Structure 1
């Protein structure tokens, strides 16, 4: 990871923060892009761009280009930005499906398209998306979320096929990530079975590394002990 420039979307969230800190600890230069407002800006090997709506293609391109201008290159893009909604199909709203598509698919699509030119110039470009085990078989109340994450899976496969030999594109598929928000929403659950953010970060960082140069188009389950 030493010297690599890694862009992380959703970098101010529970998983994004852990991935960013882990990458920095391994010597990477890290740019975080988030919809939330950043109070950090640029410090040493770290750059944070807040207030970015990645569902807007122009905003995504501006953010990614700003990262490339600041660090001089981009070697990896980790698409963590996204959202979750629990809603039954019959009782739900159409705009929930649209919101899940915008938060989970469009953010990854726009960031990836904006980064492709920079990643091909790297010579070892990487894109890592965050899919979901729930998208492999949707349960009750999971329709909008699962459909959007299935879109992330297909986006991963399509990008991997289109850029084979130039950029590796893979996705990690967590079950339930052990975050404060998830604990609050499911207080009776066995948290010990969930995936710790650090466990997921380790798989993501492996996929960024040279050791994963032969892995592309993979949807990798990281299901913990669920």
Structure 2
């Protein structure tokens, strides 16, 4: 049975809005009536930008840079007067080498993009979310639950997302709900290109993950905070 959510008069900020998952989250909130503000390090002129900028209030910014994060959040508040939800979707994957062959730049890059963006966005959004008694949903990963070969730094950065989510939930109990989603392999053009021989039918559709993000920001999950929700599909 289809489920509909009403986000009229709600303001939502989505990081990583130009990617496959981010643009799906933007569409889900837009379809539900929210005023959606998207942010990404790349702009509409990039061939990797998958978002229709006409659907959202778009802000280009590097969310590994605190000054950029503060600027974007302040602009959202100046333009809309409030913030009801933050969706930390910005993230990426790197891997293929064992730990002893992984360079420091890869470590810094993955922790910056996957964890620092979530930390900075949450830090600057929280005062406004506390006023609105809003919600944060961040993207972790199924692989964060255990170690593995070749992508240990990625797994560690996504485990950090879960731990910071639990911290935000604990520090804001009764005021701001914070949860994470844990995808397995998301069905994106990039993943299909990287793994052409995989069973793509078992991968999870970004739109299905977006529906879960929507639910976690809604009153339907009003007693859920500090959770890491599996969104594995059949993978």
The TM-score with structure 1 as length reference comes to 0.95
Residue 26 (structure 1) aligns with = 32
Distance (Å, rounded) in 2 between the aligned partners of 1:148 and 1:41: 29
Asked whether 1:159 is paired with 2:165, we answer no
Asked whether 1:122 is paired with 2:128, we answer no
Distance (Å, rounded) in 2 between the aligned partners of 1:151 and 1:116: 18
Alignment of 1:175-186 (within 5 A): 175-186=184-195
> In 1, are the aligned partners of 2:83 and 2:129 still within 8 Å (CA)?
yes
Offset, 1:183? 0.3
In structure 2, the CA distance between the partners of 1:139 and 1:42, relative to structure 1 (3 Å rule), is closer
Residue 14 (structure 1) aligns with = 20
Residue 141 (structure 2) aligns with = 132
Alpha-carbon displacement from aligned partner over 1:6-32 (angstroms, at most 9, x marks no partner) = 100000100111111111011011000
Secondary structure in structure 2 of the residue aligned to 1:195: coil
Asked whether 1:205 is paired with 2:214, we answer yes
Alpha-carbon displacement from aligned partner over 1:154-204 (angstroms, at most 9, x marks no partner) = 110011100111100000000000000000000000011111001100100
The total of aligned residue pairs comes to 223
Distance (Å, rounded) in 2 between the aligned partners of 1:59 and 1:205: 26
Offset, 1:138? 2.3
Distance (Å, rounded) in 1 between the aligned partners of 2:151 and 2:76: 35
Distance (Å, rounded) in 2 between the aligned partners of 1:46 and 1:183: 27
> In 2, are the aligned partners of 1:134 and 1:142 still within 8 Å (CA)?
no
Secondary structure in structure 2 of the residue aligned to 1:105: helix
Secondary structure in structure 1 of the residue aligned to 2:177: strand
Asked whether 1:54 is paired with 2:60, we answer no
> In 2, are the aligned partners of 1:77 and 1:112 still within 8 Å (CA)?
yes
Alignment of 1:32-51 (within 5 A): 32-38=38-44, 46-50=56-60
Secondary structure in structure 2 of the residue aligned to 1:2: coil
The TM-score with structure 2 as length reference comes to 0.91
Residue 72 (structure 1) aligns with = 81
Secondary structure in structure 1 of the residue aligned to 2:87: strand
> In 2, are the aligned partners of 1:15 and 1:197 still within 8 Å (CA)?
yes
Consecutive unaligned residues of structure 1, counting only runs of 5 or more, are none
Query: How large is the RMSD of aligned CA atoms in angstroms?
Result: 1.5
Secondary structure in structure 2 of the residue aligned to 1:217: coil
